[in-house]
Structure formats: C-alpha cells, structure tokens
Structure 1
Amino acid sequence: MAGRGGHVLAVDDDEDLLRLLAMRLKAWGFRVTTASSAEEALSKIAVEPPQVVVSDVRLPGKDGLALFEEVRIARPALPVILLTAHGSIPDAVQATSRGVFGYLTKPFDSRVLLDKIEQALQLSTAPAGTDDKAWCAGIVFRSTRMADLLNEARMVAASDASVLIRGESGTGKEMLARAIHLASPRARAPFVAINCGAIPEPLLESELFGHVKGAFTGADAARSGLFQAADGGTLFLDEIGDMPLALQVKLLRVLQERAVRPLGALRAEPVDVRVLSATHRDLESAMAGGQFREDLYYRLDVVTLVLPRLDERREDIPVLAAHFVHQVAGKYGKHVSGFAPEALEALATAAWPGNVRQLYNVVEQCCALTATPLIPLALAQRALRVPTMEALSYAEAKQRFERNYLVQLLKLTNGNVAEAARIADRNRTEFYRLLQKYNLMPAMFRADGEAPAGKPG
C-alpha cells in the first residue's frame, strides 16, 4: 500500500505502540511526526502543522478528546482521527458529531486506518481549481492572520461540513461565507443569505421554510422558503444567535432529516443544502442561559472560523482603505488617489469599534467631502469622530477587557500558562478554559513557538 506523502502527526504515550504506528505510516509513504502527550502534540502543531492528526484517546494529562478540542479551536480545518481500545465509549458519537474526522477501535484494520487518513488528506488539501484567488477576490488583506484564516476557509470549503463563523459586527462574516461557497463544489448552485435577527419572528419561519396557500391569514398563494431556494447550494444564516427558540427546534429537524415542511403542509420536501452560520454573540453563554439549544449548536459548529477585529489586523488598514477609495471615488465623480501619508497614519492607529464596515463609512465620507486628489488629515480626523456605533453593553465591555487582559498576561509571561495563571490568581484548568473561550493559544505568544522547559503550556 502506498500513501500520498502527506504529513501525519501520530500521538500515543505507549512508546512501543507509537513506534509501530510510525513505522506503519512511513511504510505507507507518509511523512511522520510523533508526540507522546497532548501538550507535546500541540507544541509541534504550533511549530509545523501536519495535515492529519492520529491520536490515542488515553493520554497522560489531557486526553485525546481534549487534544481534539484544542486543535479544533486553533486549527479548525485540521482533521483528527482518534484511536481507542474502548470501542463502547459513548464519547465516540459526541466527538464524531462535533467534528472528529474518524474514531477507530483497537485493534483496528490497517486498510480502514489508511482509508481514513487518505480521506482526511483530501479534506486538508486545497480543492482542484481554487489555486486562483477568484473565490476570495472581494476580501482584501495583507496580514498573515487573514491569510491563515482564508487558507482554513478554502480547506473547509472542500467538505460539506457545517461552519460557524464568529466575529464582531462589521468584520465581514457574510463575505467570508460567500467565499467558502465559491470555493466549494456547490459554487455553481445558489448562495442564499438571511439575517435571522432582522426579520420578525412570525415572518422568519415562512421565510426559511415557505408556506402553502391558506397556511395563515394573508397567505393567498403558496411560497417556497429560502431552504428550497438554496437547494443544491449554500444557505447562510447570519446572526443565528438571535433565532427564537421555537424556530431553533424546527431548524434542527431540517438539518437532521434534510427535509423541509412548509407551513401548513402535510409532507416534508427533501432539500440538499449546506448550512453556514454566523454570530457575534457568545453562544456558550446563551446556551447556559437557556437561550440557545445545545444540540443545534453542535450541528452548526462542526468547524469554527473566527474573523479578527480590524484592530487585530492593522496591517490590512492601508490596503483596505485604498481598495475602498477605488470603489467609492467614482460614485461621487471625483479623481481621488488615496489618503495623504499623515491621514493614512491616523487611520492605521485609530480605534475601530465598527471594524471594516466603519472603515468603509469613513472612506466614503472622506471621498464625498474631499476637494483634493489626496484626502487630507483634517478630513480623515473629522470622519473618524463621526459616531458609527452604539456604546458597548456591559457584557461586551467585560468580554473585551477580559480578552485584552489575557493577551497582556500571555505577552508578559511569553506564553507560560502556569505563570500567567499564577499572576491572575486562577488555577490552570480555569485559566485554560478562559483561553479557549477567547480562542487564545499560548504558542502564539512564545518567541520560539515551543513550551518553556519543564513548564508545558
């Protein structure tokens, strides 16, 4: 049997079994890296990400499921295959539903493992025909953070996995969803988007699922819903966190049965739709408060992609501003070359609570008012003072402070979690939970990308 030459990370605390697994993988033609613990595996993933992870479930410290959860946060598109000698473990079903690529029971058949790895490699390899940038042409960036995100998005696009896009308002969640659709095998089929928070609850059900004639007062004719409109393609559910609980139940049924029953209809209609969703809300808190169904969350959150705030990708501000000037100047019939250097500096250092959407508004105002080819500093400052967003709620302000506090701690301690937890007066388990909540990886803050000796992060 011959492998595809992909890079596989094998994880097992039993040295003999790990050596045998590595030998088998190399014999199949794979490049193999090994680790004897979840902590060592995470460190190696941070330095040189593999294309597939094959891990035993039982590991010292963090087990294989905990390793999967951390990989899922840091690198959503990296497939993980778990091996266990305990085939009856109920976690298998839950882990598979949450995105574990494969779950094999020891002793496993070599052919089955090889097939699983090759299937995973197909997921982690960019699909044919997407080497060009047409699929993400509308997303302008220079930062490595956005480049990494788009690389993950392109890999995820090759599968039919549900994707949850997280990010603050104005970061471009719908644009990323559209790019995933264009990079997917469904690109020639419809892309349909709906903002679940912008439509009144009585109308949202009909919008999504359709209705038959006479289903309710005013239903003078039958009407197809957006699921039917997106058949064969992609349905993007924006602000999914604002969906009423009653509709969450019906959405879950559609996702489970792959069929839609319009309002007033006696029978369901089969649909073939990939669902992408997005939210700026903390869904974990919403679930804890009974405002969002946990079973629906796990259906939607097979893969998570997180769009950074604009102030987390400041190197993109100059290229975004130039792009928006090119877009907007013609609208006002003006020849605008761009921003004067000091004006561009003001944009690059400003606070951006409204993210990319706010930057677009600032550029548009500057283009509308400028009398010179180069937009001057005074005009940029005037536009930046225009209120573009309501004051943060207490919960949002608390979350922003908490995240910034964690970032500063990790910078101060060079990514040493034990030291950071000590300074914060929190135990390591609780501190790790906070890091996961905000998608922060200690390795991001280490100068050499490796855990300090004797103190695994």
Structure 2
Amino acid sequence: MTEKTVLIIDDEPDIRELLDITISRMGLHTEAVGCVADAIEVLARQPVQLCLTDIKLPDGSGLDVVKHIQQHCNDTAVAVLTAYGSTELAVEALKAGAFDFINKPVSVEQLRNLIKSALQLESSSATAIDSSRNTRLLGETEVICRLREQIAKLARSQAPVYISGESGSGKEVVARLIHANGPRRNAPFVPVNCGAIPEELVESEFFGHVKGSFTGAYGDKEGLFEAANGGTLFLDEVADLPLNMQVKLLRAIQEKAVRRIGSNQEISVDVRILSATHRDLSREVAAEHFRSDLFYRINVIEVAVPSLRQRASDIPLLANFMLEKVASDWGVAAPQLSDEALRCLQSYQFPGNVRELENIIERAATLCDNNRITPADLSLPGTENNHSEPVPVSHLAAATGDIEGYMAGIEQDIISGALEANNGNKTESAKMLGITFRQFRYKLKKYNFD
C-alpha cells in the first residue's frame, strides 16, 4: 500500500516540527516547508493527499496555496491553520475550496480528526445518490444537473452549507446527499427540526444534560451534537431557533465543543453543520430575528434548491418514480397516469413542491379505478373536480352572522386537509402550510385537534 503524504506549510519551525511529529505518529509521510514557493515545488514533484497550510506566509498567503491546489491538484485536500479567532480568514479559505480549518494552538485530537476525514476523501464517490432509494436527486433539467455538480463538490469539503428553498423542494434530500457522498458517510447523519423543539428544551436537546440538572432530568443524556459526533448535524428550519440559543449554537460551532447542562466538563465534538430553512434568512437577520454572526458562520456556502415550478419537465419522471415506489410498498402493479392527468400535473403550480406531488400521487393511486389515474383522481386544488360550487360568502354571513367564525372554519378545513395529506404528520403539515411547528401546534390546540 502506497504511503500517504501530508504537506505541512508554516514559517515557524517549532510548529512545523510539532505537526511533523504528530502526523508521523499516525503512520503518514510528511513534507514540511516554510513558504508558498517551496510548497508549490513539492506539489509539482510528488503526489500529496493532504496539505496543511498556515494563512500568513512570508511570500504570500495560505489562500494562494488553496487556489493553486484547486487549479492544479484536484486530488489533494487542503486545510488551513488560523490564529485563534480569525473566523473571517477561515471562512474565506473555505469559500476558496479548503476542506476545513483548524485554530492555533492546534488541538491534537482535532488535528487527528481532520486528517482522518480528509484522507477518507479518496474513497468517496460523489454521485448524488445514497444507499436509500428514498434519498436521490431525480431529474434531467439543467437546474438539477447543476445541483448534482454542486453536491459532488460540497461532499469533498467540511465547509458549513446553508440550503435554501421552498417548503417541500427537497432540502433535506440535498443535505443527506452531501453527507452520503463525503468522507463522513459511515458516521451519523442527525437531522433536527429546530421549530419542532419546545423552547424550554432546546438547549438540553442540542447539548444534553446530567442527572439532576433540572426538574425532570432523571438521568444523563447526550445531546444532538454528541449524537452526530464524527458525522453531520442537519439543522432544518434553523430560522426558528430562539435568539438566546443562537448564541450558544455559535459558540459550539466555533469551539467544536459542547457542555452538558449541569456539567463543568467540555466535550470535544467533530461535527459538520448543514442547515436549511424555507424563509429568507438574510431578511430574518435584517429584522434582527436571527443573529448576523451565526448567519455568516453557517452560510459559508449557499445552495439553492429549485422549486418544482422551475423544473416542470421533470414532473413525469418524478411522478412515475413515485408510482413505482407506491406499487412496491403496497405490493401491487403500478398505476398508469393518463395523458390528461399528466398535462394537469405539468400545468399545476405546486406550492408544496415535490412533497405535494408525492402526496397527490399517493392519493390518486388510492382513488383511481382500473389502475389508471385520471384528472379527477388527482383532485388538484383549484380544479373543477376538486370542490363543489362554493357557497357565496354573503349567504354564509347571513346564516351565521359571524365573519370571524366563517374564517375560522376555513382555517380549520385547511389544517384538516394538511393533516390528511401528510397522514397526520404535524411537522410535515406545518411545512406544507409554510408556518412554524410552534404556530401549527398553537392552531391545533386552538381548534381542539389534539
């Protein structure tokens, strides 16, 4: 087996020696140099699997090394060493293509974790598909092809990624694919809906607690960061995090360490952060609902997931795949979409995106006769087959004398429809309606759904 080489670039001999000793003990060959020119010479004459470079160098910058490697050494992972607190430089390096960064003074444990992750890149194959048939990026449109290319590149990095897109567009699918095609793919992928956690339990859920730290803490509990250690933590609907928790989350990400509630001991964690929300996070920052420092920390690279409207020509492929899945799950022959039904699907706007298409297909497969889906089976909102003639509002007002009661009735019908479309799943129903889980839970309580 060929010995793997790590290139160390730092102008301080003591740091070069420390890194050399630590990395050599991991059974790796090292080359240590003190400037950009010498580093480029090493890269030109021999294969290098990982490069560790300081940011400030006598004849240039570590960013110059990152850019050179991106252009000339695609198979080399590069990480940067930064002075403590130089977050802006670290973020700039990640945007330029660095795999990860580590703060000085260097923690031996963090250094080893970084090296192990970086060297696993060689065996990663970013194909925008994981082992689960439910997690794949189907489509042949240009926007989807570009998204696959982005996923392949991001899978090779440890940079925090912010995934934007409408509800139901597939943000979690993208997050899972970034994880599944990268060096952390054999470690945990831990998704969390930030809006689904009661505010008083958020800190405990993220960081864990020790027995007796608060009423109801009957035993020690690890938090989500510990559960995701070595893998990926996916913060879905991150905009719903309370402001006081955002400060603590920022610290955990920067320090790569957490402290359980009631404990004085810090626990090192090696976690890649992916996040998403259907909201405009920059507007949330402007409205002071989301901390700007956390926004810039998690939004190192942004990936926009297209709406289904932006890739309408993918609808036939998606619909037929969903029908095959339904047939497989139910153990029956797959229903066929009539030409008319397919035209209806392609002309519909899909405010709920891929998730809404999946719900419509599953419902139609249940309702159709002779294993053939017609427009009537789709029951698309706004089509004549979906609703009977509406009763004029003036008649309702005359009958009830209560316009507020009338509007409340409409809201209850919408909530009931969302629950039915999502098989009673409250989290997915809230997403479909474009409201937070807390708002949805309030409305359920208000109308006695629980």
TM-score by length of 2: 0.59
- Give the 3-state SS of the residue equivalent to 1:313 in structure 2: helix
Matching residue within 296, 299, 312 for 2:294: 296
| Residue 97, structure 1, aligned to residue 91, structure 2 | yes
Instruction: Give the drift of 1:281.
Output: 1.3
Instruction: Give the drift of 1:373.
Output: 2.2
- Give the 3-state SS of the residue equivalent to 2:221 in structure 1: coil
Instruction: Give the drift of 1:346.
Output: 0.8
Matches within 5 A, 1:274-423: 274-332=272-330, 334-382=332-380, 389-390=432-433
| Residue 135, structure 1, aligned to residue 133, structure 2 | no
CA displacement 1:257-279 (0-9 Å, x = unmatched): 10010111111111111111111
Q: Following the alignment from structure 2 to structure 1, what is the Cα–Cα distance between the partners of residues 380 and 258?
A: 51
Contact 1:227–1:260, Cα closer than 8 Å, also in 2? yes
Instruction: Give the drift of 1:204.
Output: 1.5
Q: 1:352 to 1:265 in 2, by over 3 A?
A: same
Instruction: Give the drift of 1:315.
Output: 1.4
Which shifted more, 130-139 or 362-371?
130-139
CA displacement 1:163-186 (0-9 Å, x = unmatched): 000011101111111111011100
Q: How many residues align?
A: 294
Q: 1:376 to 1:100 in 2, by over 3 A?
A: closer
Q: 1:367 to 1:102 in 2, by over 3 A?
A: closer
Q: Following the alignment from structure 2 to structure 1, what is the Cα–Cα distance between the partners of residues 211 and 87?
A: 41
* Matched letter for residue 213 of structure 1: K
- Give the 3-state SS of the residue equivalent to 1:169 in structure 2: coil
- Give the 3-state SS of the residue equivalent to 2:125 in structure 1: coil
| Structure 1 equivalent of residue 154 of structure 2 | 156
C-alpha RMSD over aligned residues: 3.3
Matching residue within 197, 212, 215 for 2:213: 215
* Matched letter for residue 97 of structure 1: V
CA displacement 1:75-126 (0-9 Å, x = unmatched): xxxx9xxxxxxxxxxxx963642544289xxxxxxxxxxxxxxxxxxx9xx9
**Stretches of structure 1 lacking an aligned partner (at least 5 in a row):** 1-23, 30-51, 55-78, 80-91, 104-122, 394-457
Q: Following the alignment from structure 2 to structure 1, what is the Cα–Cα distance between the partners of residues 284 and 260?
A: 28
* Greater radius of gyration (CA): 2
Instruction: Give the drift of 1:198.
Output: 1.0
Contact 1:342–1:377, Cα closer than 8 Å, also in 2? yes
Q: 1:179 to 1:392 in 2, by over 3 A?
A: closer
Which shifted more, 134-143 or 319-328?
134-143
Higher relative contact order (CA 8 A, sep 6+): 1
Q: Following the alignment from structure 2 to structure 1, what is the Cα–Cα distance between the partners of residues 322 and 288?
A: 41
Matching residue within 197, 203, 206 for 1:205: 203
Q: Following the alignment from structure 1 to structure 2, what is the Cα–Cα distance between the partners of residues 294 and 382?
A: 40
Q: 1:284 to 1:144 in 2, by over 3 A?
A: same
Contact 2:259–2:267, Cα closer than 8 Å, also in 1? yes
- Give the 3-state SS of the residue equivalent to 1:193 in structure 2: strand
Matching residue within 120, 143, 146 for 2:144: 146
| Structure 1 equivalent of residue 402 of structure 2 | none
CA displacement 1:381-437 (0-9 Å, x = unmatched): 4577566554899xxxxxxxxxxxxxxxxxxxxxxxxxxxxxxxxxxxxxxxxxxxx
Contact 1:194–1:237, Cα closer than 8 Å, also in 2? yes
**Stretches of structure 2 lacking an aligned partner (at least 5 in a row):** 1-39, 46-65, 69-76, 78-85, 99-117, 387-416, 419-431, 437-450
Q: 1:130 to 1:391 in 2, by over 3 A?
A: closer
CA displacement 1:178-210 (0-9 Å, x = unmatched): 111011100010111100011111112111110
* Matched letter for residue 352 of structure 1: F
Contact 1:127–1:158, Cα closer than 8 Å, also in 2? no
Instruction: Give the drift of 1:143.
Output: 1.2
Matches within 5 A, 1:158-237: 158-237=156-235
| Structure 2 equivalent of residue 273 of structure 1 | 271
Matches within 5 A, 1:409-448: none
